[in-house]
Amino acid sequence: MSRVRGAEPSVSVCIVTFNSAEHIGECLEAIERQTWPNVTVVVVDNDSRDSTVRILMEKAPYVKLIRNADNRGFAAGQNQAIASTDSDYVLVLNADVILERDYIENIVRVMEANSEIGSACGCLALKDDPATVDSTGLKMTWARKAVERGGGRPVADFAQSCEVFGVSGAAAVYARRMIDHISINGEFFDETFFAYKEDVDVAWRAQRLGWKAWYEASAKALHVRHWRSRKERKRIPLKVRKHSYQNRYLMIAKNETFDLKWWVSLPALLVYEAALNGYMLLRDPKVLTCWGNLWHLLKDAWRKRKSIQILSKSPNGNMHSPSSQM
């Protein structure tokens, strides 16, 4: 696998592993087959206890491997990987994603043609059902619930490329120009999120700061989707369930505009929040114990909100009017 800096824009594929032996080999094989000529790979391993590291060292010596002594989470691990690179683009990739050969090429060419696009993703289909969409980007509902755009629908329904609210962190390409612009205190992904919704937070922040997100239908990949049903979600560790719950409030505190439209929708939002927390109280009360820590995290989120507001007023060569939420 010859991957050296050349005339084409450079791309770093950044992967965070944690007991990923089942998937990492196939993931790396797909990267090796990419048609884009200027690709490097960085893997941050969060103290895997299976054979992940051995597979990486034996089968992928070209990979830059960073080993952590403990599990620092997806957000911090990706920040480590990104900081170790200086490429023009960064592909944040899950170890359980298999890219088609031209995934990187199809996305980078679109982003090169439009400097306002700061992030892009392709059509991710379910590995166990390739005709069904896993994600074609992120969509934000009126209730500030982020969902995978097109999840569960036929792939054939999403043949048209378009602007989207944001891109899924499972296989997201970010332009270095955007990473440098929207990072706060050196963090691209907010490390207090640990895992879950950190990609939504980035998408919302990027939109507030004037960047566009793009869904490129010609770029395709397969993704192993874990915990799709409610029954499967019961197996999610409590720590992860807590992060998923509290991170929603953190990203709202950081990114919500609180404009007239928000105030008009406030009664409906309050009803939704009451229903959501009532459900949690009845079905998963242990998750709500995170509120003791969440109050402290919200103070930090509010400080970061002020940083975002300062960035929004700062001159930037790539800035333009923020796009509408989609």
CATH at residue 200: 3.90.550
Residue 241 included in any domain: yes
Pairing of strands 64-67, 39-45: parallel
What letter would DSSP give residue 290?
G
| Average pLDDT over every residue of 81-102 | 98
Domain housing 274: 1-11+86-326
Residue 24 included in any domain: no
Residue 56 included in any domain: no
Residue 205 included in any domain: yes
What pLDDT shows up at residue 231? 54
Q: What is the pTM of this model?
A: 0.91
Which residue do the tokens 């620092």 mark?
Answer: 72
Residue 292 included in any domain: yes
Q: Is the pLDDT of residue 77 over 70?
A: yes
pLDDT tens sequence across 257-313 = 999 999 999 999 999 999 999 999 999 999 999 988 898 999 999 999 999 999 988
Q: Is the pLDDT of residue 132 over 90?
A: yes
Distance CA 236, CA 255 (A): 27
SS3 31: helix
Distance CA 218, CA 137 (A): 14
Phi/psi of residue 152, nearest 5 degrees: 90, -10
Residues 6+ apart with CB under 8 A from 249: 294, 298
Distance CA 202, CA 208 (A): 10
SS3 129: strand
In the chain, the number of structural domains is 1
Residue 59 included in any domain: no
Sign of CA dihedral 157, 159, 162, 164: positive
Which residue do the tokens 């920040």 mark?
Answer: 79
Residue 187 included in any domain: yes
What pLDDT shows up at residue 293? 87
Residue 159 included in any domain: yes
